[in-house]
A and B are shown apart, each in its own frame.
Chain A
Amino acid sequence: MALNPPSNRLWWKEPIHGIELAWIIIAFLWGLFMFFFMIAWHFIGDQNLSTETYRLQPEAFVEKVEAFAEEYQLMDENGEPVEIDGVPVISPPAGGDVYMLGRLWEWWPILELKKDQSYRFHLSSADWQHGFSLQPVNINLSVHPGLEHVLTLTPTETGDYGIVCNEYCGIGHHNMSGLIRVIE
């Protein structure tokens, strides 16, 4: 039994049980398959996390986001800036760069994107780590201060999508939210 030394001192020379051998082979092949499938998805799949990342000062990122927001602020028919719950709505040109800033405790600004258009999506934090969690799509990314993560993002459905924070970021963590609106 497992609490006593093996009675056969040459236990490493014993034959392996057939069932065990079969299972080892299955587990091994399955492991290989799973390994290759991750690689394969880079070729056959449309969801692969970009690794394009730049180091910068958090303040420098905040400036970029503010400049971006000013440039592409959405205006209503009276020429007034559009806001939702006090947050400006930004409508960048399709295919361009868009910025999303995480800070205590909001995702800023609100983005209006077009369905089936690709955007270069820049994501970073002004202060602590945050968790970018796009809902109900369920895309979840870690966000670090000082690291600007750039991915090419293509919304595939229209509607209002919430962003919540899923990295604990202090007492207002559960109040941290944002919005991406996708239109035709």
Chain B
Amino acid sequence: MTTIDHGAISAPVAAVQYRTCPFTGRRIERSAELLIRVNAVAAVLFLALGGLFGLLVALTRWPAVQLLPADWFYLVLTGHGANVLLFWIIFFEIAVLYFASAVVLGSRLAAPKWAWLGFVLMVVGAVMANYAVLHGDSTVMFTSYPPMMAEHWFYLSLIVFAVGALIGVFVFFGTLVVAKNENTYNGSVPLVTFGAITAAIIAVFTLAAGAIILIPTWLWSLGFISGIDTLMYKLVWWGMGHSSQQINVSAHVSIWYAIAAMVVGAKPLSEKVSRFAFLMYILFLQLASAHHLLAEPGLSSTWKIVNTSYMMYLAVMGSMIHGLTVPGAIEAAQRRNGYTRGMFEWLTKAPWGNPAFSGMFMSLVMFGFLGGITGVILGTEQLNVLMHNTIYVPGHFHGTVVAGTTLAFMAMTFLVVPLIFQRDIVLPTLAKWQPYLFGLGAGGISLFMMGAGTLGVPRRHWDLAMTDAGIPYEFAPGAYLMMGLNGMSAILAATGGLLFIVLVVASIFWGPKLDKPGAKLRFPLHDDGAKAVSEYGSEGTFKLPGTIMLVTIFFVSFVLYYFINWKYLSDLWLFN
């Protein structure tokens, strides 16, 4: 079903090849498709490696198991952070950027050769980083705080990877220009593309911060610079480390909108509000490192308060808005689809058997409740002291980046495989269960690590019992329980993760081919998905009682939890 458009539009080299997707009616260009495929495959491979490391880490932190010896634990933990947070997430994001530009806008990719170069650099960087870590002299955690020093390879590998990613981001911008010039769409870019633009703008900022800090650190490891200021390092490093989380949020929120559109035919409630919420991310991307520095010496309170909140928490507001508009758009669409009874028929009759939908909705809920609320608490000037660097922190970000971003990306993959690889999902029953397995596990590790953190359990720590410590310290029995439950949840999550990888790889290689005429999807798209651009746009005025109930529950939980933490704080020893 490959249609070739000869010279219809000016193409620099040879003819640009397009096909028309039989399920969505979209025009998909060959090189864009190929690059989405390779980036997605690389992402999944690094997830497999990083996920395995995650399981080993969690099993080691389960006191009754303590799987790895100490040196391996720290080594594997360094590898876990790098492989999942950097490589899995960023490869997938590059795929998302190409999808949101070339595929969503029906355009060709701006500079496929550059895109390939970026991809190759990213692969080289990622492989090199794994080499440096596994080699054993770079067990510094992916944050690599000085004056602890890794092998110079380690820093260099991250720089190479970042340069590759930056090239990918510029190919994305180039593609937007191409689409505009070649008039592949009418009017404003779709919301999903808008969200991706947000992510890409933040990415430029992020990668610049990364370069500013990693290049001197690399030179330091080579002996050209005598020292790196520890506080300055953290400030700039988190300019990369935190803003990159804002990229993840922009990307996965775009994916929420995309999946809701494809699977239940959802339209944004109002374009204006949703776009404005994305804009908040760019404008009020806090001096992003500030809330990682709340327990550091030498920074003024005013600086901390202003930079974590910019006086009114507008980026948090952006997320809270999406937290209403995404379920709201789904509710409105489902009511239009005929599920109008009661407050929640729209939700109970949603396509829970479709892994794209179930993964997306769980990601939405867990990102808000587990990741979002706790993030605000951690980012509050005084409250931070309660859990800074305890395992509460990994608990929080497994809520954002695993239960939120990773689950959303997995859900999206169940659409990318049929639409971009043109292969249907194999073993649909298992596919149906995959998001629940992974979601439950990810929610569990997030929750139980937070539980252990409130009991004081440190992060990145091999031995809770502190058997060989100079002065012994006994953690409360509850801490052991929490770390055990965390280990069990990790097994669930890892099983879900393994299932995901098996399903994706098997589908790509052996899934039923979908490029034959009349092929049908196992997990069908919403009918609107097949219609051409007709009267899409903002959703009209619907009553949304279910969504109102959901956000009310969210808000009440948020406020309660916020004040509970102030209560905890007020019980501490006094300090000022």
Contact = CB atoms under 8 A, between A and B. Distances in A.
B95 to A, nearest CB: 16
B506 interface: no
A152 B380 CA distance: 21
Contacts of A6: 187-188, 190-191, 271, 536-538
Contact of B267 (A1, A50, A85, A178): A1
B257 interface: yes
Interface stretch (A65-73, A91-99, A139-147): A139-147
A56 to B, nearest CB: 12
B474 to A, nearest CB: 8
B325 interface: yes
Given A34-B309, A140-B386, A45 B570 contact: yes
Contact of B382 (A17, A41, A87, A128): A41
A127 B13 CA distance: 58
Given A8-B537, A46-B574, A144 B231 contact: yes
B471 A146 contact: no
Contacts of B469: 174-177
B297 A53 contact: yes
Contacts, number: 329
A26 interface: yes
Interface in A34-58: 34-35, 37-39, 41-42, 45-51, 53
Contacts of B74: 168, 171, 173
A163 B535 CA distance: 63
A9 B187 contact: yes
B270 A2 contact: no
Given A14-B538, A17-B273, A135-B475, A47 B455 contact: no
Interface in B449-495: 454-456, 458-463, 466, 468-476
B296 A144 contact: yes
A31 interface: yes
Given A11-B188, A48-B576, A131-B458, A3 B473 contact: no
Contacts of B298: 51, 53, 144, 147, 149
Contacts of B230: 129, 144-147
B226 interface: no
A151 B575 contact: yes
A15 to B, nearest CB: 8
A35 B309 contact: yes
A87 B572 CA distance: 26
B145 to A, nearest CB: 5
A112 interface: no
B429 interface: no
Contacts of B568: 138
The B interface, classified by DSSP as helix, strand, loop or mixed, is: loop
Given A47-B576, A51-B301, A27 B389 contact: no
Contacts of A24: 273, 317, 321
A179 interface: yes
B548 interface: yes
Given A19-B544, A154-B575, A27 B299 contact: no
Contacts of A48: 301, 382, 575-576
A51 to B, nearest CB: 5
Contacts of B544: 19
B192 A2 contact: yes
Q: Which of B385, B469, B474 has the most CB of A within 10 A?
A: B469
Contact of A110 (B300, B301, B458, B471): B471
Contacts of B537: 6-8, 11
Interface string B284-321: 00000000001111111100010001011110110011
B116 to A, nearest CB: 26
Given A2-B267, A142-B389, A50 B273 contact: no
B572 A135 contact: no
Given A7-B537, A35-B311, A147-B230, 10 more contacts: A2-B261, A2-B329, A7-B534, A14-B271, A129-B148, A133-B456, A135-B475, A141-B388, A144-B298, A151-B576
Closest 3 interchain pairs by CB? A162-B473, A31-B313, A166-B458
7 contacts: A6-B271, A8-B271, A47-B570, A123-B297, A149-B297, A156-B573, A166-B459
